Amino acid sequence: MPAPVVAMQMYTLRNEAAADYPGTLKKVAAIGYKAVQVSGLHTYTAQDIAKVMKDLGLASAGTHISFDLLKNDFNKAVDITKTLNTVYAIVPLAPKEVRESAETWKKFAAEMNEIAEKLEKVGLILGYHNHSFEFARLGKQTGYEILMSNVKPKIQPEIDTYWVKHGGGNPAALLRKYKGRIDVVHFKDMGSGDDKPMVPVGNGILDWPAIISACKDGGAKFLCIEQDNCEPLAPLDAAKVSFENCKKWGLA
């Protein structure tokens, strides 16, 4: 089984990318990253970004595509995903109205199933990226449990390690629960303290040996480094710290 590739989730560098996406990708490649996951095109086109990625030898670890775009402009969503040379179209979060009840989660799951069927016909895979709100209980189940028990197995969970922990879950256990079904994982770490700060991967409290073992056993293909808030470090500096820690673990 090929080793997973450490990727940079470009949401971490959203401000830098908005100002100069090509230049930011060059800096990501210079750190040592071999892949990126696109999250937002800013003022650029998918063609612009794909060309720079190709020139730099950066693989594509999927792209985040809004649920609204997949639902209301399916062809555009497909075009963006394919242009970025990936098969993974990943919904970054559920709309607010989905989070209200078990029934709204079930309706969302049904809509996701419809989209997944359409994507499969054009050679693409639908994914879903969690935050922590999915782990709020709605009766006997959490929103995440309701969603995952109602979507078809072809829909891949893109598990975000920080948000699972933030929601009171165990990232490694959840990765093992969906073993064999997860190609892309978000590596995000949590610092100590009541405010649960985001910190570079490897500098926090998450059980990385257990998480990495679960990813490898489950056949994960991409490990996407993400840090929504990087202060006090600059985002590129935080991205470098995370990458260097992954190198120490033998992942990069």
Q: State whether the Cα torsion 11-172-164-190 is positive or negative.
A: negative
Distance of CA 109 to the CA centre of its chain: 19
pLDDT tens per residue across span 229-244: 999 999 999 999 999 9
pLDDT tens per residue across span 118-129: 999 999 999 999
pLDDT at 111: 98
pLDDT at 20: 98
Outline where DSSP puts E strands in the chain.
5-9, 35-38, 59-64, 88-91, 125-129, 137-138, 141-142, 156-158, 184-187, 189-190, 198-199, 222-225
pLDDT at 2: 84
pLDDT at 1: 73
CATH class of the 5-248 domain in this structure? alpha beta
**Which parts of the chain sit beneath pLDDT 50?**
none
